Structure 1
Amino acid sequence: MTPWEVAAILAAGLAAGAINAVVGSGSLITFPTLVALGYPPIVANVSNNIGMVAGGVSSVLGYRPELAGQRRRLLRLGVGSVLGSLAGGFLLLLLPAEAFRVIVPVLIALACVLVVAQPRLQAWLSARQDDPRVDGGAWLWLGVFAAGVYGGYFGAAQGVVLVGLLGIFLDEHLQRVNAAKNLLSLLVNFTAAVLFTVIAPVDWWAVLFVSLGTLVGGFVGAKIGRRLPPRVLRAVIVCVGVIAIVKLVYG
């Protein structure tokens, strides 16, 4: 690996870690970078997924204040994320890459719509529930499970999907929703990373430099993201989601 390649992967990891902390979709930077450097797609995807774990840890640590009081809810939803990630990881190794090529852009587009419509939909749901559930109920669990399947398979923009789901079903401030998204995304990436380490081809040099970049980027992104007003954060999420769709469809 040349110094230029190391620098490229570190820079991509730094940007991806910051974006993941605020929104999600950082893999749309690191994954294409690894492929452009000559890594086979499956090796790039697997190595990138493992490398993202470090950035997930720093993002969660950066959002610790917003995680307060969410332990019970996240334990329940975390089970869905872990199970979904295992299912998605096995699908990555068993199915052709084209399997989600049509579905993924649709999921991201739906997530963007949910993020934009979140305040009105949340108010609509609350008005029809005498005792709103703090954990989001069975539908949210199933949605988080599905996001975990997607995250274990590819993972780019899973944060946009999670923010859309959590924002609709939970009566929470968007920053607390974002904190929950970071933790659930970390669980998905960590679970897939353990699976891939055991049964998939991994380039550990790529993992190392993606990890270093995302670790720093995660702290930087958390500091920025926690200061953004809900409307600005929502706009950033939608912009990243649109870019993700364009890259996946036309990239």
Structure 2
Amino acid sequence: MTNTVALVAVGVGSTAQSGKALLDGDRRRLVIGLIAALIGGTLGAVLLLLTPAEAFEALVPFLVAIAAIALLVQPVLRRWATSHAERPWIFVVGLTLICIYGGYFGAGAGIMILALMLVVTSEPLWRAALSKSVFLGVANAVAAVGFMIFGPVDWWAALAMAIGCLLGGWCGPPVVKRLPAGPLRIVVGLCGLGLAVWLAVG
């Protein structure tokens, strides 16, 4: 719960730095994504408040690993996706489910959203990364409200993490926009696999 409260700052930093760039893209997808994130984050928070977080721990490494592998083979998956009829509902359903997970447990949710956007949309990596921060920020924000009211939050730890998250959210979008997309996608995918292994053995 403390981690979720702190992660709200990532969305704040990203939106403050590059939020205007999101409006230059598909605004309809942005609005639908924000609604899906709001619903998903709310459902995830309710689940966490009613059930123990340990109920999800066994699945987390596999979910993160699947998302990381999807990033690594993203060009193949995107070609496959674009060769079929466009199905916008896949983005909506996928984002809602990931945001439920994000509000409930959270580890690796950003990688999952990034993989989803790079596979089922035509967004470039930098815009997908920005959208990821905003969508996850909304899911975390609505979950954080519930945790602030009903759950135990370590406020000093949340403040320390939030400062780092705010700086990362602020600096991240312009840096990602300037880096080569292919190598960066591979690095993120490999880091995601490392996170999956760490979660599995930790």
Tell me the TM-score normalised to structure 2 length. Answer: 0.91
Q: Which runs of 5+ in 2 are unaligned?
A: none
Once residues 18 and 187 of structure 2 are traced to their aligned partners in structure 1, the CA distance between those partners, rounded to angstroms, is 18
Q: Which runs of 5+ in 1 are unaligned?
A: 1-45
Selected match of 2:53 from 88, 97, 112: 97
Paired position in structure 1 for 2:73: 117
Once residues 221 and 236 of structure 1 are traced to their aligned partners in structure 2, the CA distance between those partners, rounded to angstroms, is 15
Once residues 121 and 3 of structure 2 are traced to their aligned partners in structure 1, the CA distance between those partners, rounded to angstroms, is 31
Matches within 5 A, 1:23-172: 46-64=1-19, 66-67=21-22, 68-129=24-85, 132=86, 137-172=88-123
Shift of 1:217: 2.6
Contact residue 130 and residue 173 of structure 2 kept, 8 A: no
| Residue 204 (1) aligns with residue 155 (2) | yes
Contact residue 54 and residue 214 of structure 1 kept, 8 A: yes
Contact residue 82 and residue 187 of structure 1 kept, 8 A: yes
Q: Deviations over 1:183-234 (max 9, x none)?
A: 1111111111111111111222222222222212322333322221111221
Secondary structure of the corresponding residue to residue 197 of structure 2: helix
Stretch moving more, 199-208 or 72-81: 199-208
**Number of residue equivalences:** 201
Paired position in structure 2 for 1:245: 196
| Residue 189 (1) aligns with residue 144 (2) | no
Once residues 66 and 232 of structure 1 are traced to their aligned partners in structure 2, the CA distance between those partners, rounded to angstroms, is 23
Shift of 1:65: 5.5
Bigger-Rg structure (1/2): 1
Q: Deviations over 1:147-206 (max 9, x none)?
A: 011100121211110011111111221222112111111111111111111111122222
Once residues 101 and 84 of structure 2 are traced to their aligned partners in structure 1, the CA distance between those partners, rounded to angstroms, is 31
Contact residue 13 and residue 170 of structure 2 kept, 8 A: yes
Percent of aligned pairs with the same amino acid: 36
Shift of 1:47: 1.7
Secondary structure of the corresponding residue to residue 63 of structure 1: helix
Q: Deviations over 1:61-110 (max 9, x none)?
A: 33335412232111112211111111111221222232112211111111
Contact residue 63 and residue 226 of structure 1 kept, 8 A: no
Once residues 26 and 142 of structure 2 are traced to their aligned partners in structure 1, the CA distance between those partners, rounded to angstroms, is 21
Once residues 59 and 38 of structure 2 are traced to their aligned partners in structure 1, the CA distance between those partners, rounded to angstroms, is 21
Aligned partner letter, 1:61? A
Secondary structure of the corresponding residue to residue 51 of structure 1: helix
Contact residue 55 and residue 218 of structure 1 kept, 8 A: yes
Stretch moving more, 57-66 or 114-123: 57-66
Aligned partner letter, 1:47? T
Contact residue 66 and residue 175 of structure 1 kept, 8 A: no
Paired position in structure 2 for 1:4: none
Once residues 91 and 25 of structure 2 are traced to their aligned partners in structure 1, the CA distance between those partners, rounded to angstroms, is 18
Once residues 185 and 229 of structure 1 are traced to their aligned partners in structure 2, the CA distance between those partners, rounded to angstroms, is 24
Paired position in structure 2 for 1:179: 130
Once residues 89 and 248 of structure 1 are traced to their aligned partners in structure 2, the CA distance between those partners, rounded to angstroms, is 21
